Amino acid sequence: MKITNLNTGRYWFYFFLIVAIVIKFSLFFYVFEVIPQAVIKPDSLLYLQSANSIRDFILHPAHGLTHSMQPMPGYPSVLAFFLYGLGLSIHQMIFIQILLNFLTAFVVARIARSINPSWVPVSVLIVLLDLPLTIYSQIILTEAVFVLVLSCFILCFHRYLVAPNYRRLILAAFVLALCIYIRPIVCYLPWFAAAFIIYSRCGGHWKKNLIHAGLILLVVYGLCLPWAYRNFKRYGDFRISSIAESTLKPHSFFKDTREKKALIAPKVPNYIFYPFSFLRNVVELLTTPGSISHDLSRTWVDFSNVFGYLLVVFWAPGFLMGLIGGQKDPRYSFLIWVFIYFLFVTIGATGWTVTSRFRIAMLPSIAIIATAGWCKIQTLWMRRYGI
Residue 6: band (very low, low, confident or very high) from pLDDT cuts 50, 70, 90: very low
- The DSSP H or E segment spanning 101 is helix 90-115
CA distance 351 to 285: 10
CA nearest neighbour of 178 among 195, 200, 153: 153
Q: Is pLDDT at 387 greater than 70 in this prediction?
A: no
More confident residue, 372 or 240: 372
Q: What's the pLDDT tens digit per position in 120-177? A: 999 999 999 999 999 999 999 999 999 999 999 999 999 999 999 999 999 999 999 9
Of the ranges 54-58, 92-96, 261-265, the best mean pLDDT one = 92-96
pTM, whole model, 2 decimals? 0.92
Q: Reduce the DSSP state of residue 387 to 3 states and report it.
A: coil
CA nearest neighbour of 186 among 306, 60, 37, 362: 362
CA nearest neighbour of 164 among 201, 190, 202, 205: 202
CA distance 38 to 42: 11
Supply φ then ψ for residue 261, to 5 degrees. Answer: -65, -45
Residue 250: band (very low, low, confident or very high) from pLDDT cuts 50, 70, 90: low
How many Cβ atoms sit within 10 Å of the Cβ of residue 294? 10
Residue 341: band (very low, low, confident or very high) from pLDDT cuts 50, 70, 90: very high
The mean pLDDT of 85-113, rounded to a whole number, is 96
**Please, which contacts does 206-210 make with residues 24 or more away whose CB atoms are closer than 8 Å?**
none
CA distances from 262 to 250, 279, 349 (A): 17, 18, 20
The residue extents of the domains of the chain are 3-385
Q: Is there a contact between 212 and 199 (Cβ–Cβ < 8 Å)?
A: no
The mean pLDDT of 299-311, rounded to a whole number, is 84
Q: Reduce the DSSP state of residue 60 to 3 states and report it.
A: coil
pLDDT number for residue 236: 82
CA distance 375 to 314: 13
How many Cβ atoms sit within 10 Å of the Cβ of residue 194? 21
pLDDT number for residue 321: 93
Residue 283: band (very low, low, confident or very high) from pLDDT cuts 50, 70, 90: very high
More confident residue, 293 or 106: 106
